[in-house]
């Protein structure tokens, strides 16, 4: 009898504690909408950026260098990658330093080999950003398997190879930050882009699982994860896009310079999740609570799609 009563009281206490924590978290989240966390310094950080040879990766390298970080530029195209490193050095006005390394991130052994060079020649990487463009086979049943494999290799498997090469060092150093990028294809399936959507959903799952794993093993190393959703896509002159916008004023497009600034801002504020534009993250959370039929109606209204290939 007393044991039952004790168990019941413990249950009541746990439920009340949970309700209190939920209310506290909601109030804190609401407060942070208007008063965001302070920007932390990235001076002295060693930042790895894959896909640094053009577009978003190039802008991230330049802007991080201007903030005083040491930037490691990875790209499979050596010429454009070296140009990015030189631009980061010159535009950074000597505040940060940039290095260029040619690497095929889909090749695990090459990633390990180049990672060892980086550790010896530059130091331990403390921030990682994988922003390589994903090829997007069109209709799944009409596209050969190698195209699908390439999308998954670049978008998903490369994440594991890079994490395996650098995450242990971050944990030993008890300091690090991992930024993962995903598009609207990681939040809702897009017709004719099944491989791309699958890869983007996988990135979101990886970010969430990694965050939970690092939370449970926090004493080993305080490594943070930031997942950034880009709505609906990045547009620059080097990317071939096929944009569909039924309501252009709702989405519009965003240039790499502005997108890079927002990504860096999210990282410096230690956000777990962010979006570009920011308000659409909250809109997506609300829409996801609707019945399936209502979600499809919203999707038909917006009628948005993009080809990253």
pLDDT at 240 exceeding the cut of 80: no
Q: In the 8-state DSSP scheme, what is residue 155?
A: I
pLDDT tens digits, one per residue of 278-297: 777 766 666 667 677 766 66
> How buried is residue 175: exposed, middle or buried, by Cβ count under 10 Å (0-12/13-18/19+)?
middle
Strand partners, 75: 102
- Residue 2 pLDDT level (bands cut at 50, 70, 90): confident
Say what percent of the chain tops pLDDT 90. Answer: 37
Q: What is the reported pTM?
A: 0.82
d(CA 101, CA 162): 14
What pLDDT sits at residue 216?
Answer: 78
Task: Assess if residue 8 is contained within a domain.
Answer: no
Return the top range by mean pLDDT from 19-23, 119-123, 131-135, 172-176: 119-123
Are 65 and 91 within 8 A, CB to CB? Answer: yes
**How, if at all, do strands 127-130 and 98-102 pair?**
unpaired
Q: Flag whether 3 is in a domain.
A: no
**Nearest to residue 97, comparing CAs of 143, 44, 139?**
44
Q: Is residue 134 part of a domain?
A: yes
Q: Is residue 2 part of a domain?
A: no
- Structural domain contains residue 296: yes
Q: Contact, 226 vs 267, CB < 8 A?
A: yes
Where in the sequence is the domain holding 218, given as residue range(s)? 41-302
Residue 14 covered by a domain: no
pLDDT for 302 = 59
Has residue 130 been placed in a domain? yes
CB 188 within 8 A of CB 174: no
The CATH number linked to 167 is 3.40.50.720
Q: What is the pLDDT of residue 54?
A: 85
Strand partners, 101: 74
Task: Report yes or no on 5 lying in a domain.
Answer: no
pLDDT at 236 over 70: no
How many domains does one find in the chain?
1
């Amino acid at each position: 009898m007393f044991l039952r009563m004790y168990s019941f009281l413990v249950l009541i206490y746990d439920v009340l504690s949970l309700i209190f924590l939920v209310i506290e978290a909601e109030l804190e989240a609401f407060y942070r909408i208007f008063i965001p966390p302070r920007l932390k310094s990235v001076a002295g950080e060693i930042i790895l950026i894959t896909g640094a040879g053009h577009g978003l990766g190039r802008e991230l390298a330049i802007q991080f260098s201007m903030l005083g970080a040491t930037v490691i530029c990875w790209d499979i195209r050596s010429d454009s990658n070296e140009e990015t490193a030189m631009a980061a050095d010159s535009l950074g006005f000597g505040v940060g330093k940039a290095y260029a390394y040619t690497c095929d991130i889909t090749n695990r052994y090459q990633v390990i080999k180049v990672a060892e060079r980086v550790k010896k020649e530059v130091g331990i990487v403390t921030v990682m950003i994988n922003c390589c463009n994903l090829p997007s086979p069109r209709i799944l049943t009409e596209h050969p398997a190698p195209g699908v494999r390439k999308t998954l290799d670049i978008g998903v498997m490369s994440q594991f190879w890079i994490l395996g090469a650098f995450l242990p060092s971050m944990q030993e150093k008890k300091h690090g930050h991992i930024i993962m990028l995903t598009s609207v294809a990681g939040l809702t399936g897009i017709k004719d882009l099944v491989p791309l959507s699958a890869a983007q959903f996988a990135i979101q799952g990886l970010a969430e699982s990694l965050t939970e794993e690092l939370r449970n093993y926090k004493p080993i190393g305080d490594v943070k994860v930031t997942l950034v959703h880009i709505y609906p896509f990045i547009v620059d002159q080097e990317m071939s896009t096929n944009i569909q916008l039924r309501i252009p004023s709702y989405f519009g497009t965003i240039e790499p310079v502005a997108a890079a600034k927002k990504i860096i801002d999210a990282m410096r504020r230690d956000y777990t999740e962010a979006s570009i534009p920011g308000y659409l993250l909250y809109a997506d959370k609300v829409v996801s609570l609707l019945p399936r039929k209502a979600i499809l109606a919203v999707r038909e209204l917006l009628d948005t799609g993009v080809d990253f290939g």
